[in-house]
A and B are shown apart, each in its own frame.
Chain A
Amino acid sequence: ELKVEQNPLFLSMQEGKNYTIYCNYSTTSDRLYWYRQDPGKSLESLFVLLSNGAVKQEGRLMASLDTKARLSTLHITAAVHDLSATYFCAVDLSGGGADGLTFGKGTHLIIQP
């Protein structure tokens, strides 16, 4: 059974600081997704990571994937208030197939002025 663990589950930080959210998963996979969810809203896709060593960046967010360590990170640089949201990682089992995504429990991020 695939397990996906995110750390931390809750993070309060100040604007301008850097921080990293970690996503560990238990079974071999080479596809990992990051989503953002604002309160009362649906999930918005941020990054799709498809191979070992993949790195994607958009604005102040950068995501990476290490399939050997079964670890993905979402790094926030010089945080701003607008990045306050809940961030989910989700893993797709290797080989494709129809099992869908297994989500982490989410990291609730609050960025204070």
Chain B
Amino acid sequence: EAQVTQNPRYLITVTGKKLTVTCSQNMNHEYMSWYRQDPGLGLRQIYYSMNVEVTDKGDVPEGYKVSRKEKRNFPLILESPSPNQTSLYFCASSFFWGQGSGTREYFGPGTRLTVT
């Protein structure tokens, strides 16, 4: 079954304690990205990756790191989490868009993170 998986699904942590949220896709997609969803703000892109070893900042990258060592995995790293990073996080993947490709992004199930 084609899918994007995230782990953990729920996480409560304390300020400053490093954490990693994993994301994996089994569709051989080149493109992967991370979004955070906050009430009243919709979804905002944190980081994206066009392929292995190619990553770039989205709209709200501060406080986050990513890596793309393998095509299927795109972990999100919070080196020193703060309460304002409490949010619902989604990983997504797709084939790399070229002109007219129109491939939609597949979203993971989400990770609800609370930083106290």
Chain A contacts to B: CB under 8 angstroms: 31, 33, 35, 41-43, 45, 48, 50, 88, 90, 92, 95-106
C-alpha spacing A41/B41, complex, angstroms: 17
User: Which secondary structure dominates where chain B touches chain A?
Assistant: loop
C-alpha spacing A94/B101, complex, angstroms: 11
User: Which secondary structure dominates where chain A touches chain B?
Assistant: loop
Contact status A98-B96, CB under 8 Å: yes
Which residues of B lie under 8 Å from residue A102 when comparing CB positions? 45, 59
**Range class of the B interface residue count:** 20 to 34
Contact of B90 among A31, A42, A95, A96 (CB under 8 A): A42
Contact status B48-A31, CB under 8 Å: no
Chain A residue, CB-CB nearest to B50: A98
The B86-104 residues at the A interface (CB cut-off 8 A) are 90, 96-102, 104
